[in-house]
């Protein structure tokens, strides 16, 4: 094993996947926007075109800057193979469409990302693919449904916005026994805090738009796995379907990933501090964070995560009226539908993660109209706590004088 192989994840985040793509003595991977790659030797061109020899042919298939991005993610997740996409949703949909055919049965959880949930409720059923939704974190129900027949187990943990936790090892083991494929969306945890491949997943998906890029300025998605044939099949679907990552996005995401370890550690620390602080506030009804003892699956989170992540949510008393007063009073937070960026980002669940649902549907999922999702940034935690404190106190004062 080389010294690089033994290096820790923070070192791999900085150095990983870059060396093969440096040119002219540059220390940084260049953006190569060229759509086509030329060959004077007709035999070499043919060999590359049929995959016998390494190289690039056409930008929809592969691109050096994009490949450097893929190589870095592979190193971070400890995966043998990987491929990338224009967005996280392209990664999710292309993976599902690669493997599923009419008559298949998918077992999943109720709290997947909104776009993923739409694929399950709207698009897969019209191809006669059955999707079964289990209560997130109800392992007995998931196992029971897998036993009834399962082509693919699709998990996401922690989930959006109430950060529910599912035991990856336990459910993956059960799915494997039934011959099912195990796919895990690891966007919320990031490779710093959780590595589903070591817990039994076949395929790991990230919306690179979020924590991997970390600066809310580039869209992207990525899929990694240890079975090269599986990943190759997804790549093949994508090269034909055409949801290719742009080289400029790859460059920004690659640069962002160099600081992934630093950022996510700080975001995780900030989230723990903010969750603990919010639990003490009079205006707060409940706080959801896997790092809190009060979280129903705290023990599972502890066993499968290295850190509890930068995402949390909390419900305020007074519902949406309080949300309307509270969020504009925060100085160090973007009120936006994004997450995973260096800036703290807040939004009501009803406007962000679950905007497609009716209030009744949200209530059935345990998402109150007063639920606020927080993606913690990398700011100084004392400033963030002080900011939430002043906002909560000021809202409290307004309510009590009314």
Ligand X SMILES: *Cc1c(COP(=O)(O)O)cnc(C)c1O
Active site positions, annotated? 60, 113, 185, 210
Q: Is 117 in the site for ligand X (CB under 6 A)?
A: no
From candidates 143, 145, 185, 387, binder to ligand X by CB under 6 A? 185
Q: Is 207 in the site for ligand X (CB under 6 A)?
A: yes
Q: Which helix (H) or strand (E) holds 66?
A: helix 64-77
Q: Is 291 in the site for ligand X (CB under 6 A)?
A: no
Q: Is 210 in the site for ligand X (CB under 6 A)?
A: yes
Under 8 Å between Cβ of 371 and 347: no
**Number of residues near ligand X (by CB under 6 A):** 16
Q: Is 187 in the site for ligand X (CB under 6 A)?
A: yes
Nearer to ligand X by Cβ, of 94 and 160: the residue is 160
DSSP track, 369-402: TTEEEEE--SS-HHHHHHHHHHHHHHHHHHHHH-
Of residues 6-35, which lie at the interface with ligand X (CB under 6 A)? Answer: none
Nearer to ligand X by Cβ, of 56 and 255: the residue is 255
Specify the stretch interacting with ligand X by CB under 6 A; choose among 37-45, 166-174, 204-212, 244-252: 204-212
Q: Which helix (H) or strand (E) holds 221?
A: strand 221-225
Specify the stretch interacting with ligand X by CB under 6 A; choose among 57-65, 84-92, 251-259, 286-294: 84-92
Sign, CA torsion 299/305/309/313: negative
Count helices and strands (H / E) in the chain: 16, 12
Nearer to ligand X by Cβ, of 49 and 342: the residue is 342
From candidates 68, 75, 81, 89, binder to ligand X by CB under 6 A? 89
Under 8 Å between Cβ of 384 and 335: no
CA distance 378 to 401: 35
Q: Is 196 in the site for ligand X (CB under 6 A)?
A: no
CA distance 361 to 368: 10
DSSP track, 95-135: HHHHH--TT-EEEEETTS-HHHHHIIIIISGGGT-EEEEEP
Nearer to ligand X by Cβ, of 92 and 260: the residue is 92
Closest by CA to 253, choosing from 306, 211, 281, is 211
Under 8 Å between Cβ of 83 and 239: no
Specify the stretch interacting with ligand X by CB under 6 A; choose among 60-68, 72-80, 82-90, 382-390: 82-90
Shortest distance in whole angstroms from residue 208 CB to ligand X: 7
From candidates 219, 230, 260, 274, binder to ligand X by CB under 6 A? 219
- Write out the residues near ligand X by the rule CB under 6 A: 87-89, 92, 113, 115, 156, 160, 185, 187-188, 207, 209-210, 219, 221
């Amino acid at each position: 094993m080389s010294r690089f192989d033994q290096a820790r994840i923070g070192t791999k985040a900085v150095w990983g996947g870059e060396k093969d793509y440096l040119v002219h003595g540059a220390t940084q991977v260049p953006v190569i926007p060229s759509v086509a790659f030329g060959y004077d030797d007709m035999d070499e061109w043919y060999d590359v075109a049929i995959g016998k020899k390494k190289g690039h042919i056409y930008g929809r298939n592969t691109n050096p800057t994009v490949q450097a991005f893929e190589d870095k993610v592979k190193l971070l997740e400890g995966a043998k193979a990987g491929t990338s996409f224009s967005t996280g949703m392209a990664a999710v949909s292309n993976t599902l469409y690669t493997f599923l055919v009419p008559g298949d049965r998918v077992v999943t959880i109720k709290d997947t990302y909104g776009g993923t949930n739409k694929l399950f409720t709207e698009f897969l059923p019209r191809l006669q693919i059955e999707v079964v939704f289990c209560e997130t974190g109800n392992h007995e129900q998931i196992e029971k449904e897998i036993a009834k027949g399962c082509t693919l187990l699709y998990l996401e943990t922690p989930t959006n916005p109430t950060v529910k936790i599912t035991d990856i090892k336990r459910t993956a083991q059960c799915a494997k026994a039934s011959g099912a494929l195990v796919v895990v969306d690891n966007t919320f945890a990031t490779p710093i805090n959780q590595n589903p491949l070591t817990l039994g997943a076949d395929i790991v998906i990230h919306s690179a738009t979020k924590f991997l890029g970390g600066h809310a300025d580039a869209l992207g998605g990525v899929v990694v796995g240890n079975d090269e044939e599986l990943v190759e099949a997804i790549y093949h679907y994508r090269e034909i379907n055409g949801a290719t990552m742009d080289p400029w996005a790859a460059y920004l995401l690659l640069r962002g990933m160099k600081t992934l370890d630093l950022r996510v550690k700080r975001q995780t620390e900030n989230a723990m501090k903010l969750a603990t602080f919010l639990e003490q506030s009079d205006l707060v009804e409940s706080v959801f964070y896997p790092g809190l003892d009060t979280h129903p699956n705290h023990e599972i989170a502890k066993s499968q995560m290295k850190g509890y992540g930068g995402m949390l949510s909390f419900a305020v008393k007074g519902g949406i009226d309080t949300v309307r007063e509270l969020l504009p009073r925060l100085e160090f937070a973007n009120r936006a539908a994004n997450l995973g960026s260096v800036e703290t980002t807040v939004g009501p669940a009803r406007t962000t993660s679950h905007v497609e649902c009716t209030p009744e549907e949200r209530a059935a999922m345990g998402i109150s109209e007063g639920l606020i999702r927080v993606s913690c940034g990398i700011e100084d935690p004392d400033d963030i706590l002080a900011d939430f404190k002043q906002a909560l106190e000021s809202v409290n004062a307004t309510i009590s004088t009314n």
